[in-house]
């Protein structure tokens, strides 16, 4: 194939950032419904109504008056996560492990009441959500499925599914690495792994600009490993996509030992998934459903 033909094909298949914004985000996702995705408290409430599994909420910390009770709540649980409701990019997330009434981070660093109070205050003040005031969620600490713990013992990998009008279009797994410091964030050095949509089998992963079959730190095989609960993942994605007034979504799902749990919904899902799968979203979207009309209603 010559270069001109290749470029033409790229234009037909690749979803560029301009086109994503204009033809998908603006056209498919009415702005008044953004809070459904941007505010995790609202997301969870809505998903619970749809009977979609989410991490169990222990408490929502709305104000400083709740902080004392929040610490009590934390001490009643074996493990918990504190996160800002409107945070972004995984900022402000604190993992708490309870050992006989004393709280620690998973790495064993003691978390004093003072530290937790400070962190909750930071969240409420909006330090992790663009200076807006916010609320903190204290929720279940999801332990990833054995399949993932075998590949890399730390952090929580997740599955991202791009859903367009209820159709799962493209998907990837994000696996933490030493470089990403246990975070499943591609910007910070996590590994992105392509998925065979029909079988839920992991394909090659993209890390440090190279397509690899094994985890870069543990050397464990990734390519060819089948994801657990793949049918449930697809069912959940379809259900959210069908019921949501937001028609172009990135759904983040963590696979726990027992079931898939939806962690987050994204109205502006990133485009790196195309590099990871070596597939163009534009072509996939075009072939799955006609263009948005921008008149979605709940």
Partner 1 sequence: MSIPHIVAILLTTFTSVIIVLKFLVWDYRFEFLLPEKGYNLTVNMHFWEGEEGVRISTWLPSNDVRQHVDNISFENMGIPIHIEPTEYGTRIVWEGVPPSASGKVSYTAVLRLKAIRYALPDSVPIKQYTTPTLKEYLNETPTIQFNHPVIVAIYDSLHPKVNNAIAHLKRFYEYVSGFENRPFKGTTDAVTAALLEEASCNGKSRLLVALLRRSGIPSRLVGGIVLTSGRKRTAHQWVEVFIDGVWVPVDPTNNHFAYLPENYLKLYVGDQPLFSFKKGIGFRYEFEIQHITLPNRFFAKHLTEHPFNAYKAWKAFQENGIPLSLLTIVLMLPVGAVVISIFRNVVGMQTFGTFLPALIAAASVTTGLTYGLIGFLTVITLVSILYYPLDKWHITHNPRMSIMMVAVVSALLTSGWLAQQFDIKDITYLALFPVAVLTITAERMAQTIMEDGLKKALWVTVQTAFVIVVVYEIMTIKSLQSFFLAFPELYLVLVAIGLVLGRWTGIRLFEYWRFRHLLKNL
CA 278, CA 192: separation in Å to the nearest integer? 11
Please check whether residue 115 is in contact with residue 70, taking contact to mean a CB–CB distance below 8 angstroms.
no
Choose the stretch contacting partner 1; rule: CB under 8 A; options: 101-109, 121-129, 226-234, 242-250: 121-129
Q: Is 91 in the site for partner 1 (CB under 8 A)?
A: yes
Q: Is 114 in the site for partner 1 (CB under 8 A)?
A: no
- The least distance separating partner 1 from the CB of residue 13, rounded to whole angstroms, comes to 5
CA 191, CA 180: separation in Å to the nearest integer? 9
Q: Please state whether beta strands 201-207 and 210-212 pair in parallel, antiparallel, or not at all (unpaired).
A: antiparallel
Number of residues that bind partner 1 (CB under 8 A): 30
Q: Is 11 in the site for partner 1 (CB under 8 A)?
A: yes
Q: Is 208 in the site for partner 1 (CB under 8 A)?
A: no
Among 46, 151, 280, 292, binds partner 1 (CB under 8 A): 280
The number of CA neighbours under 13 Å toward the Cβ of 6 is: 3
- The least distance separating partner 1 from the CB of residue 12, rounded to whole angstroms, comes to 9
CA 223, CA 213: separation in Å to the nearest integer? 5
- The least distance separating partner 1 from the CB of residue 251, rounded to whole angstroms, comes to 23
Residue 239's contacts (CB-CB under 8 Å, 6 or more residues apart) are: 50, 52, 166
Among 6, 68, 220, 258, binds partner 1 (CB under 8 A): 6
Beta bridge partners of 248: 164
Q: Is 212 in the site for partner 1 (CB under 8 A)?
A: no
Q: Is 77 in the site for partner 1 (CB under 8 A)?
A: no
The number of CA neighbours under 13 Å toward the Cβ of 5 is: 2
Interface positions, 126-155, toward partner 1 (CB under 8 A):
126-127, 131
- The least distance separating partner 1 from the CB of residue 64, rounded to whole angstroms, comes to 13
- The least distance separating partner 1 from the CB of residue 228, rounded to whole angstroms, comes to 28
Record the tokens describing residue 264, joined without a space.
């987050």
- Distance of CA 84 to CAs 41, 62, 120, 135, 186, Å? 9, 11, 9, 6, 20
Residues that bind partner 1 (CB under 8 A): 6-7, 9-11, 13-14, 16-19, 22-23, 89, 91, 118, 121-122, 125-127, 131, 187-188, 211, 274-275, 278-280
């Amino acid at each position: 194939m010559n270069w001109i033909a290749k470029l033409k094909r790229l234009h037909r298949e690749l979803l560029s950032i301009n086109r994503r914004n204009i033809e998908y985000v603006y056209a498919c996702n009415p702005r008044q419904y953004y809070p459904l995705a941007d505010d995790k408290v609202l997301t969870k409430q809505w998903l619970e109504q749809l009977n979609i599994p989410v991490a169990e909420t222990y408490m929502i910390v709305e104000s400083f008056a709740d902080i004392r009770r929040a610490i009590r709540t934390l001490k009643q649980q074996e493990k918990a996560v504190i996160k800002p409701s409107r945070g972004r990019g995984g900022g402000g997330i604190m993992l708490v492990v309870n050992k006989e009434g004393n709280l620690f981070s998973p790495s064993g660093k003691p978390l004093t009441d003072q530290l937790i109070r400070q962190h909750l205050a930071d969240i409420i003040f909006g330090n992790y959500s663009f200076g807006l005031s916010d609320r903190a969620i204290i929720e279940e600490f999801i332990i990833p499925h054995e399949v993932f713990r075998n590949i890399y013992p730390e952090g929580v990998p997740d599955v991202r599914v791009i859903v367009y009008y209820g159709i799962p279009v493209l998907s990837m797994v994000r696996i933490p690495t030493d470089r990403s410091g246990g975070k499943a964030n591609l910007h910070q050095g996590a590994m992105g792994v392509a998925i065979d949509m029909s079988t839920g089998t992991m394909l090659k992963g993209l890390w440090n600009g190279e397509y690899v079959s094994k985890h870069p730190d543990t050397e464990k095989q990734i390519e060819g490993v089948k994801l657990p609960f793949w049918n449930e993942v697809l069912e959940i994605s379809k259900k959210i996509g069908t019921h949501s007034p937001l028609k172009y979504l990135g759904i983040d799902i963590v696979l726990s030992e027992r079931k898939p749990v939806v962690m987050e919904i994204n109205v502006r899902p990133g485009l790196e998934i195309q590099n990871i799968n070596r597939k163009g979203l534009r072509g996939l979207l075009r072939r799955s459903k006609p263009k948005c009309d921008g008149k979605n209603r709940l």
